[in-house]
Amino acid sequence: MSYEVEQNGTEKSAPFEPIDSYERLIVLRKREPDTFMLRTSEATRRALVIYEQQKARQTERESE
């Protein structure tokens, strides 16, 4: 993940960019939860949780 250091020394993360493969997994999880669980590893499911958290944070920032 790329980032910039602002003048006050705090880090500013790169802007959120949607990832097609994660978006497809979100749809699969909603439509076919059993298939989602069978086709994805635990690591992928955890990465998806982090992706969704970042997506939610970006949505909050945009609404401010």
Q: Is 40 within 8 Å of 25 (Cβ atoms)?
A: yes
pTM: predicted TM-score of the whole model, two decimal places: 0.73
**Distant-in-sequence, close-in-space partners of 18: CB < 8 Å, separation ≥ 6:** 55
Q: Which two tokens stand for residue 41?
A: 């590893």
Q: What is the mean pLDDT of the segment spanning 31-42? A: 97
Give the mean pLDDT of 7-28.
82
Q: How confident is the model at residue 61, as a pLDDT?
A: 83
pLDDT at residue 37 above 70?
Answer: yes
Report domain extents, the chain. Answer: 17-63
What's the whole-number average pLDDT of the chain? 86
Return the amino acid letter for 23.
E
pLDDT-derived band at 1 (thresholds 50, 70, 90) equals: very low
Percent of the chain with pLDDT over 90: 62
